[in-house]
A and B are shown apart, each in its own frame.
Chain A
Amino acid sequence: MTDLIKERAISIIVNNKPDVLARIAGTFSARGFNIESISANVTRNPVITKIIITTLSTQETIDKIIKQLNRLVDVLDARKISRSQVCRREMILARLSMPEDRQAAVEELVGAHSGKVVSRESGSAILEFTGDKDTIEEVLNRLEALGMEDLTRTGTVFMERGKP
């Protein structure tokens, strides 16, 4: 169904310039679309940045947005990520207070989802998890139950399976 509103992902290769993100964000906001998640970083070529954006929209809308994006001078390529064929990951860092009696539960969670304790401080710890959206949601539910104090979450990154 093309008129179904669902999460859709776009991969954008751009010139690494100060205003390019504003232009891309403007392309969404000018049409009243929300960016659900965004992930951007320079590539191995320092003048080129790769951006991955997810948004809730219909097929038709996403096609229009992609045309608009490709019209921007600093966009070298914008295209849809076909969702059935991809690996997708998000990452979170979460701070938990760590009283003695919670240690075991935390260890168990870290073990079950290949998490990592990236920093231990007196009475608290910072944990790292990566996974697809569902996994991350599940981990977050558990972390909340364990008394999560702070959270940062990246945008989604994707890679299509098979050679491009």
Chain B
Amino acid sequence: MQQTGSQILFKALKEEKVDTLFGYPGGSVMDIYDEMFRQNIRHILVRHEQGAIHAADGYARASGRVGVCLVTSGPGATNTVTGIANAYMDSIPVVVLTGQVTTAMIGNDGFQEVDITGITRTCTKHNFLVRRIGDLQGTIREAFQIARSGRPGPVLVDLPKDVIQSVIEADVPPAAVPPAEEACPDLERPCNEALKLLLKAKRPLIIVGGGVILGKASEVFRSFVKKLQIPVASTLMGMGAFPGTDPLWTGMVGMHGAYYANMAVSQCDVLMAVGVRFDDRVTSKVSAFAPHARLIHIDIDPVSIDKVIRADVSMVCHCGPALKTLNRLIDEQRLTLPKLQIRHWHRQLRQWKAEMPLQYCRNQNIKPQYVIEKLYQLTEGRAIIATEVGQNQMWAAQFYRFDEPNTFLTSGGLGAMGFGLPAAIGAQVACPDRIVVDVAGDGSIQMNIQELATVVHYGLPVKVVILNNLYLGMVRQWQELYYGRRYSQTDMTQAPDFVKLAEAYGVKGLRATKPEDVKRILLEGLETPGPVMMDFQVEPEENVYPIVKPGSPLTEMSFGNVRAVA
């Protein structure tokens, strides 16, 4: 049977069980879009290609499946680059399909030609330019395999128009490549070494990272923690891997980490890092990070091991198999951490938590932290929270408690403003029955505000919570603290009326200006079927605390004026 490139593309996507594409059409992909009429696949038409890639990314984060995005050549492709870099930094499996000029035109500066494989070479896990229709199906298969295996990441496939248009005799089923077995090294020896260290520890601590979520290992991680009763701190990307309501939960570490988390890391004698790559926002001054600790490091990416901090015991593998082996060894040898031995440590942690919980001072203005607290209570901690970037992101991480993996979607490595709304769209498409909220700043939300049209188009009940401080808040905070209060270009007072703007898009708009409004507006927003944008006019110069000045040890935290109140 004769098949076109477009038909083969869809066949290959179906083989990968893709049921949703996030995309935007254009000249070089018109054949694909035309073929779409005959294919049973859902296409979400975004309003900007950056929205498409972030939505595919949000879909992947929320569902644990590969997100797929389809855009045209040239500007369509370049518009995805920020989103690709974002997925790359956070190891999110997405496949990006870009149109390309015909193979004969490539290299001739054709209309809407860019060398997108060249441009994205350093921000994709891998990319392909398909030169022959015969390679198409195999390439798509390989792209998905690469995106989801090992340390996941974005893979781009560039599709020249003539390849898509050409026809091939394609009824011979192509040989299926067996999915590459992910080789696991012998885990027993390092696991025994790790256990030996942990069982001798007087002040053991675990840091959990995004690798546990990406590796779908939260369950086995939790049972491991339960067996040994070791306190668990988390990176930004690890939120949700371990319940934020568990007594062993010790909070987020890093620049805006909790006091007790940063103290715990700084004083522990054995640190077990699971699915963590030790970003500089986590370690701050590396030489002062966990200075007393022997390190056990589990990560799928060999590059992460010994990159920032030397490990005493390391395992290059998915977190799941390593933790399973640990659990088995613990059971077989009936190991426990003697309660007496770590009693002081548990007591110390409780004391730190009591001394300096995450807190803020109230006054007559709406405190952004309060909005997040209320959001947490009213959603009973069961919402999927996407965030933008800046203070809003940190407050969401600090004041929402995440009990489940895949529920906190945030641009961790790249810190890309404009991520939250499209990511929430992707998450809502993946999880139609969940409450999905984008926690936003008034700056960030304007970076992909056009996606409100997408939300309405598909009737997605996404809720946007704007913590509107009339500033590029996080930058303003740094200017206040580190640049002598000189607020250079961070004033956002000139802003749209977000309620009217929402309504113009067909989204319900709500506004709160006083603390007494917060609960009512949130309730109304959450209970209204369909999309809602809520504008919370918050304390303009509220800061995120604790804060560790970049390059300082984690113990050197500033708390603003909350300590006085505590």
Chain B contacts of A23 at CB under 8 A? 121
Q: A73-B126, A73-B146 are in contact. Are A22 and B121 (CB under 8 A)?
A: yes
Rounded to whole angstroms, the CA-CA distance of A64 and B304 in the bound complex is 9
The answer to whether A30 has its CB under 8 Å from any CB of chain B is yes
- The one of A19, A70, A71, A72 in contact with B117, judged by C-beta atoms closer than 8 angstroms, is A19
Interface residues on B, range: 10 to 19
Q: A73-B126, A73-B146 are in contact. Are A26 and B303 (CB under 8 A)?
A: no
Most buried by B among A22, A30, A64, A67: A67
A26 and B307 contact, Cβ closer than 8 Å, known pairs A67-B302, A70-B302, A71-B302: no
Task: Compute how far the CA of A23 lies from the CA of B301 in the bound complex, rounded to whole angstroms.
Answer: 18
> Per-position contact with A for B102-126: 1 when CB-CB < 8 Å, else 0?
0000000000000001100110011
| Distance of B209 from chain A, by nearest CB (Å) | 18
Minimum CB–CB distance for B114 against chain A, Å: 15
| A64 contacts across to B, CB distance below 8 A | 303, 307
In the bound assembly, the distance between CA atoms of A22 and B117 in angstroms comes to 11
Chain A interface helix/strand/loop/mixed: helix
Q: Check A67–B117 contact: CB distance below 8 A.
A: no
B146 touches A19 (CB 8 A): no
B154 to nearest A CB, angstroms?
13
Taking the closest CB of chain B, its distance from the CB of A14, in whole angstroms, is 13
A64–B301 CA distance with the chains assembled, in angstroms: 12
Assess whether B126 is in contact with A19, with CB atoms less than 8 Å apart: no
User: In the complex, what distance in Å separates the CA atom of A22 from the CA atom of B115?
Assistant: 13
Chain A interface bracket (under 10, 10 to 19, 20 to 34, 35 or more): 10 to 19
Q: Does A124 sit at the interface, judged by CB under 8 A? A: no
| CB nearest neighbor in B for A70 | B302
Complex formed: what's the CA distance from A19 to B121 in Å? 9
Residue of B nearest to A72 (CB): B126
Is residue A114 contacting chain B, with contact meaning CB distance below 8 A? no
> Which residue of chain B has the shortest Cβ distance to A74 in the bound complex?
B126
Beta-carbon contact of A26 and B121 below 8 Å: yes
**A12, chain B: closest CB distance, angstroms:** 16
* Bound CA–CA A19/B120 (angstroms): 12
Whether A68 is near chain B, meaning CB under 8 Å from some CB there, is: yes
Query: In chain B, residues 276-309, which have Cβ atoms closer than 8 Å to a Cβ of chain A?
Result: 301-303, 307
Residue of B nearest to A29 (CB): B122
Most buried by A among B117, B122, B129, B301: B122
* Given known A-B contacts A73-B126, A73-B146, A22 and B302 have beta carbons under 8 A apart: no
Q: A19-B117, A73-B146 are in contact. Are A30 and B303 (CB under 8 A)?
A: no
Q: How far is the CA of A148 from the CA of B209 in the complex (A)?
A: 60
| Contact indicator A26/B122 (Cβ below 8 Å) | yes
Per the bound structure, the CA–CA distance linking A26 and B303 in Å amounts to: 16
Task: Tell me which residues from 35 to 89 in chain A have a Cβ below 8 Å from any Cβ of chain B.
Answer: 64, 67-68, 70-73
Q: Do B303 and A68 touch (CB < 8 A)? A: yes
Residue of A nearest to B301 (CB): A71
Bound CA span A146–B55, Å: 67
Q: Are A67 and B303 also in contact (CB < 8 A) when A19-B121, A22-B118, A23-B121 are?
A: yes
* Interface residues in chain B, defined as those with a beta carbon under 8 Å from any beta carbon in chain A: 117-118, 121-122, 125-126, 129, 146, 301-303, 307
Of the A-B pairs whose beta carbons lie under 8 Å apart in the complex, a sample of 8, sorted by A's number, is A19-B117, A22-B118, A71-B301, A71-B302, A71-B303, A73-B125, A73-B126, A73-B146
Residues of chain A touching chain B, judged by Cβ–Cβ distance below 8 Å, are 19, 22-23, 26, 30, 64, 67-68, 70-73
Given contacts A68-B303, A72-B126, 4 further A-B contacts (CB under 8 A): A19-B117, A22-B118, A30-B122, A67-B303
